Structure 1
Amino acid sequence: MLVYNTTYHVDDEMIGNFLIWLKECYIPEVEKHGLLKTPRLCKVLSHREDSGASYSLQWEVENSAVLHQWHTELGAKLHQELIHIFDNKVVGFPTLMEVMK
């Protein structure tokens, strides 16, 4: 199993709107699509900047082929929506991790 993580840095004035969008639009849309599972939203407490806040959104995904399928079918569209709504007030970077036992 893999974990697909996106860490977002959000300007102070956008935190409330971003969290609402994430919880009410983004996460439900991804869950409805069905390829990414078990969302976990965390506030990043380390690396505190002078302004803004950082959040980590993690999903379980079966393998990299499934993640690529999700990105092609839905992920790219949702990323464009994020840019359209928040412009440069929210920036994110993805990380793909393997669960080690």
Structure 2
Amino acid sequence: MYIYNVTINVENAIHDAWLEWMKTEHIPAMLDTGKFSKALMTRVVVEEEMGGITYSIQYRTDSKETLQRYYAEDAQKLRAQSKPFEGKFVAFRTELQVICEQ
């Protein structure tokens, strides 16, 4: 099991529209690729020096190979859909390998 984690800091000026877009369009589109079985969106409870609000979205996938297929087949198109918010957020992505779940 792998988790594709996207941490995003969003400027306050676009926050509400961005959050609605994430919940109603982007996350469903990610799941519609068929490469992720579940998505969990959380708010990072910390005051950022740079301001804004930070979120972590974790997409579960069955394998590294499936995640690689997402990068090759879907990532560019789905990332491009955030264009209306361009320059108003900062994102970084990490891959996590699940070792144990209890």
What's the TM-score, normalizing by structure 2? 0.89
1:11 aligns with 2:15: no
1:30 aligns with 2:30: yes
Correspondence 1:20-99 to 2 at 5 A: 20-46=20-46, 48-82=48-82, 84-99=83-98
CA offsets, 1:16-56, max 9 Å, x none? 01111111111111112211121000000135335200000
Whole-Å Cα distance in 2 between the matches of residues 69 and 49 of structure 1? 36
Query: Partner of 1:88: helix, strand, or coil?
Result: coil
Query: Partner of 1:70: helix, strand, or coil?
Result: helix
Whole-Å Cα distance in 1 between the matches of residues 38 and 10 of structure 2? 23
Whole-Å Cα distance in 2 between the matches of residues 93 and 50 of structure 1? 15
What's the TM-score, normalizing by structure 1? 0.90
The number of residue pairs the alignment matches comes to 100
Larger fraction in helix? 1
Query: Partner of 2:81: helix, strand, or coil?
Result: helix
Aligned-CA RMSD value: 1.3
Amino acid at match of 1:65: E
Query: Partner of 1:60: helix, strand, or coil?
Result: strand
What is the Cα deviation at residue 100 of structure 1?
A: 1.9
Identity of counterpart residues, as a percentage?
27
What is the Cα deviation at residue 5 of structure 1?
A: 0.3
